[in-house]
Structure 1
């Protein structure tokens, strides 16, 4: 019981040795950081779905009902839209 207590209450967090908060700045392309600007460069049918899902916080089912688009089409447009956006970030 004593060992269990010690394990629960005597843990040290070693922030100085953690690399969780270290973000490599070389991996970010500063020219394409603005997602909304890049979103305007793809086909409108993909824009509508991505905006509903990511900027309005809808689930795929909610977007399907709100936009009156079949759920399978929402999923396809999401996948294709993300693939199109990825081209700007490569």
Structure 2
């Protein structure tokens, strides 16, 4: 949570967001957009792309908040991982601008944020469908656990190391070996 005085405690904020409370989302945007925007800017070095990616990030936060687990870390850490991963995905794909899914858009007015979500009955990408879960079962448990924590649950390498009670260097080494093994398997 922000160090500023907050009308919400984190658990209450998350509960309100899960109930699709637009006032809570507006508060979240007002208090975290600058910080998340700076994190994106450090990676993409482009102001226009930063704004586009920040919008994508808040759409992802709105649509994927059900994946946030307070037992695994703070809301800000989870949102920062969403922002970082969105920026890295844009860089990896080589796209100059990452575009918001046409079915989901944020509209900002002076006092509100409106989220248009026309995706009521579309199928999201399911990692079970694309075969990732099957590949993970073929890995040693210590390696599949890292992929699950870092890539599927948004942990940082340090958070994963803390969770697994192993040195961060071990996390980095195992992660590199695991990614190479997954590339060969695909």
| TM norm structure 1 | 0.60
Q: CA deviation at 1:37?
A: 1.1
In the alignment, is residue 77 of structure 1 matched against residue 174 of structure 2?
A: yes
- 1:36 match: 133
Query: Where has structure 1 moved over 6 Å in runs of 4 or more?
Result: none
- Unpaired runs of 5+ residues, structure 2, are 1-94, 96-129
- Unpaired runs of 5+ residues, structure 1, are 1-19, 21-32
Which has the bigger relative contact order, CA under 8 A and spacing at least 6? 1
Match of 2:155 among 58, 65, 70: 58
Q: CA deviation at 1:82?
A: 0.6
Q: CA deviation at 1:56?
A: 1.2
Match of 1:48 among 145, 148, 153: 145
Q: Deviations over 1:5-31 (max 9, x none)?
A: xxxxxxxxxxxxxxx7xxxxxxxxxxx
| RMSD (Å), alpha carbons | 1.8
